[in-house]
Amino acid sequence: MAVLFLLFLLTVSVVSADEDGFIGVNIGTAISDMPSPTQVVALLKAQNIRHVRLYDADRALLLALANTGIRVTVSVPNDQILGIGQSNATAANWVARNVIAHVPATNITAIAVGSEILTTLPNAAPVLVSALKFIHSALVASNLDGQIKVSTPHSSSIILDSFPPSQAFFNRSWDPVMVPLLKFLQSTGSYFMLNAYPYYDYMQSNGVIPLDYALFRPLPPDKEAVDANTLLHYTNVFDAIVDAAYFAMSYLNFTNVPIFVTESGWPSKGDSSEPDATLENANTYNSNLIRHVLNNTGTPKHPKIAVSTYIYELYNEDLRPGAISEKNWGLFDADGMPVYTLHLTGAGTVLANDTTNQTFCVAKEGADPKMLQAALDWACGPGKVDCSYLLQGQPCYEPDNVVAHSTYAFNAYFQKMAKSPGTCDFKGHGSCIFPGSAGRNGSLPNTTSLAPSSNSTTSGCHSVYIYGAGSFTTSVIIGVLLMSVFFL
């Protein structure tokens, strides 16, 4: 009877979500040539990204986000937790300076108090819940607690014995923190923030976890992981991590706190010890993750309950210390160029391939070569376009003529500036090209597919675009030209 009652507790719970699942992005700042706040917001708007998480509360970026409608999660940096957790006044000052000063123009919807405090800054753990309560009290005093939730992101490593998920439990040494934390989240209608990285679970499994299982690739039924206690079938690591957190909360008798995944992703590059940190795997994981979340698939324990997720991260961070992979989680490089083009075909109407805004900047037919060369020199100099691909021996050197090289540079600058008006005006020698009409007027011919292909190459200048008569034939970077990364 006791076993049956335990199974009942493990399989029955009540979790609700206020809205359909969304995909957001994290914005880090460990970048040598950090884009300006205006450029960051321009990229977010161009890609229809409606949810962002900041690792601080940068004033310039919050001002740039004003009147965009983009939902923003701001963060209390770890080095401020001790001060805020020990002083109600310090917390109130932080909220006044970093939140109240910006709303309602900037749509701040959540505050993440620290990041992975229990595992990275354990000496601050005793005041973590106090910090959340003090921050929340300041919001209440300003009548903002209804629109801004307060929580704190956790590493999934605080969950022990995570498979099968029904056996998972939080590290018991953190019960004095976790129980009051969950009570706070429950009483304020907030959510449990979880950083979920199937990449690391896969890497640390010593071959036990199949790569396809980590990447959301379809598995035959006999390869699916089955929780023997609940008979729930798991087709991917992400769902198993999320359900392990749900079960761990249920062991502490909390069954109505929803989970938001505040970080998840896959690195696109690694060293010899990380052979599966590749462009293709990063593309596959993030594409499948986006589809999984936006379809409101939920998890085996909570089907149809959305697991909103922030992808780690918007930009590659070349200044981040550690392994090569640590620098290469971004969807874009710092210049706004996509690291890869996501495989989003069939992900729904919002994430369907863009057929209306595939805008490119190319050299104008008949332009004076000397003027083109001058504009090319400007783009590769003051314009800060990375023109290294145009050097002899590099992927975009051929064809070696000013038309092809200037087109590459013009379009790189145009995309870098998120297609802002005026950024394709190189003294009258550029033209914005809209695909979908006849190839003769300079747009892409109808026979050229704009859909991201799972078979596309992943580096260098590849895939030839044939422009109509009167224009030119050249090789260009798919990753540069196909700006078809879309988010809710």
How far, in Å, CA of 162 to CA of 206, rounded? 16
Are 273 and 202 part of one and the same domain? yes
Residues listed for the chain: 488
Q: Is residue 432 part of a domain?
A: yes
Query: How does pLDDT run across 470-488, given as a tens digit for each residue?
Result: 222 222 222 222 222 323 3
Judgement on whether residues 98 and 196 belong to the same structural domain of the protein? yes
Query: Do 373 and 273 share a structural domain?
Result: no
The HSE-up count of residue 160 (CA atoms within 13 Å, CB side) is: 8
Distances (CA, A) of 25 to 36, 71, 108, 338, 355: 17, 11, 15, 14, 23
Q: Please count the structural domains in the chain.
A: 2
Per-residue pLDDT, 345: 54
Q: Return the pLDDT at 220.
A: 82
317 is catalytic: no
Examine residue 472 and state whether it is found in any structural domain, yes or no: no
CA distances to 52, 59, 60, 62, 151 from 102, in Å: 15, 9, 11, 7, 20
Task: Provide the H-helix boundaries in 144-267.
Answer: 175-188, 198-203, 211-214, 237-251
Pick the catalytic residue: 224, 263, 274, 326?
263
pLDDT in tens, 326-383: 999 999 998 888 888 887 754 433 222 333 344 567 676 677 888 888 888 888 888 8
Query: Of 437, 478, 474, whose CA–CA distance to 355 is shortest?
Result: 437
**Token digits of residue 82:** 């001790």
Tokens of 189: 């209608």
| 374 in the same domain as 313 | no
Q: Which of 116, 224, 313, 365 is catalytic?
A: 116
Q: What mean pLDDT value characterizes the chain?
A: 80
What is the rounded CA–CA span in Å between residue 410 and residue 433? 12
Residue 153, strand partner residues: 193
Q: CB count, 10 Å around CB of 240?
A: 26
Q: Which of 291, 313, 332 is the last residue of a domain?
A: 332
Question: Domain for residue 353, yes or no?
Answer: no
Structural domain includes residue 450: yes
Q: Do residue 301 and residue 155 come from a single domain?
A: yes
Pairing of strands 149-151, 153-155: unpaired
Within a domain: residue 7? Answer: no
The alpha carbon of 383 is separated from its chain's Cα centroid by a whole number of angstroms, namely 27
Q: Are residues 33 and 141 in the same domain?
A: yes
**192-195 vs 153-155, strand pairing mode:** parallel
Indicate whether 248 and 364 sit together in one domain: no
Q: What share of the chain is helix, strand, coil (3-state, %, to 5)?
A: 35, 15, 50
Within this chain, do residues 182 and 70 fall inside the same structural domain, yes or no? Answer: yes
CA–CA dist 271, 273 (Å, integer) = 5
Shared-domain flag, residues 283 and 423? no
CA distances for 295 relative to 204, 287, 290, 305, 308, angstroms:
29, 12, 8, 10, 11
Domain check: are 368 and 325 in the same one?
no
Model pLDDT for residues 76-125, shown as the tens digit of each residue: 999 999 999 999 999 999 999 999 999 999 999 999 999 999 999 999 99
C-alpha 160/C-alpha 421 separation (Å) is: 52
In the block, tokens 């090209």 appear at 433
**Is the same domain home to 305 and 367?**
no
Give the pLDDT mean for 33-46.
91
Which CATH number covers residue 72? Answer: 3.20.20.80
Query: 251: domain range?
Result: 19-332
Active-site residue, 313 included = no
In a domain, 349, yes or no: no
Burial bucket for residue 481 (CB in 10 Å: 0-12, 13-18, 19+): buried
pLDDT of residue 202: 95
pLDDT in tens, 382-429: 888 888 888 887 777 777 888 878 878 877 777 777 655 556 655 544
Residue 409 belongs to a domain: yes
